[in-house]
């Protein structure tokens, strides 16, 4: 295991390493934490700041929430449907350095009502395109209730995701953050695609 991974977990006083696909199926994909060096690249982009509120869909054990709230001082909400993995995030919150700025919700992403102060959404391929469509509809509802700039961050996007996102009338491509240089293999998916809600 990458030393950077365990060091960050230790510093943040959380346990988020390891993959878990015990409850994965064709709609909900395995828990796999975003590598810390990738999150560092995102934190350094300046796109997420202290006054932002971020939702991490399929938060798993909460790494994205704990790290980004620690590094950028944003408020973070993790949404997780798997009770057992959610418990890992809730346990981490007890001791986490940035626990006070994070909260976790046990709920299916497609049923989660997006709070009207949320302005950043994070996705690391947590679920199928069908569920993604429902989640986007919830984000648009929240946007219509309170129009504001909302940025959607898609890490390591699949072809299915990219195709689905490109056909959304309420989304406009905003930016891309390349992360391929952080890894030895040449992988075209190694990036963030960022979209803005219109």
In a domain, 27, yes or no: no
Q: Please say whether the beta carbons of 143 and 171 come within 8 A.
A: no
| Overall domain count for the chain | 1
Q: Tell me the mean pLDDT in the region 40-53.
A: 98
Flag whether 192 is in a domain: yes
**pLDDT band of 2, cuts 50, 70, 90:** low
| Domain hosting residue 52, numbered range | 3-9+35-197
Alpha helices, DSSP H only, in 79-177? Answer: 83-95, 129-145, 159-166
Query: What residue ranges in 4-142 does DSSP mark as E strands?
Result: 53-57, 75-80, 102-106, 120-123
Q: Tell whether the model's pLDDT for residue 138 goes beyond 90.
A: yes
Does 138 map to a domain? yes
Burial 73-103 (b: 16+ CB within 10 A, else e): ebbbbbbbbbeebbebbbebbeebebbebbb
C-alpha 31: how far from its chain's center? 12
| Model pLDDT for residues 51-62, shown as the tens digit of each residue | 999 999 999 999
- Give mean pLDDT, residues 12-32: 82
By percentage, how much of the chain surpasses pLDDT 70?
Answer: 98
pLDDT recorded at residue 49: 98
- Stated pTM of the model: 0.95
- Please check whether residue 91 lies inside any domain of the structure: yes
CA-based torsion, 45, 50, 53, 56: positive or negative: positive
Confidence label for 20 from pLDDT (cuts 50, 70 and 90): confident
Structure-token match 């809600």, residue found: 197
Distance CA 142, CA 122 (A): 16
Q: What is the pLDDT of residues 178-198, one digit of tens each?
A: 999 999 988 999 999 999 999
Give the CATH number, domain containing residue 57.
Answer: 3.40.50.150
């Amino acid at each position: 295991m990458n030393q950077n991974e365990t060091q960050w977990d230790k510093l943040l006083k959380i346990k988020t390493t390891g993959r878990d696909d015990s409850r994965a199926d064709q709609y909900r994909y395995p828990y796999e934490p975003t590598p810390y060096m990738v999150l560092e690249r995102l934190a350094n982009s300046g796109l997420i700041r202290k006054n932002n509120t971020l939702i991490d869909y399929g938060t798993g054990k909460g790494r994205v929430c704990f790290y980004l709230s620690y590094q950028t001082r944003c408020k973070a909400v993790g949404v997780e449907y798997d009770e057992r993995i959610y418990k890992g995030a809730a346990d981490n919150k007890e001791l986490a350095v940035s626990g006070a700025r994070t909260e976790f919700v046990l709920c299916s992403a497609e049923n989660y009502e997006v709070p009207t102060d949320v302005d950043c959404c994070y996705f690391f391929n947590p679920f199928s395109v069908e569920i993604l469509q429902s989640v986007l509809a919830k984000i648009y509802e929240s946007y219509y209730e309170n129009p504001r700039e909302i940025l959607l961050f898609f890490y390591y996007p699949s072809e299915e995701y990219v195709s689905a996102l490109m056909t959304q009338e309420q989304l406009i491509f905003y930016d891309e953050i390349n992360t391929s240089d952080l890894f030895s293999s040449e992988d075209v998916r190694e990036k963030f695609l960022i979209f803005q809600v219109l």
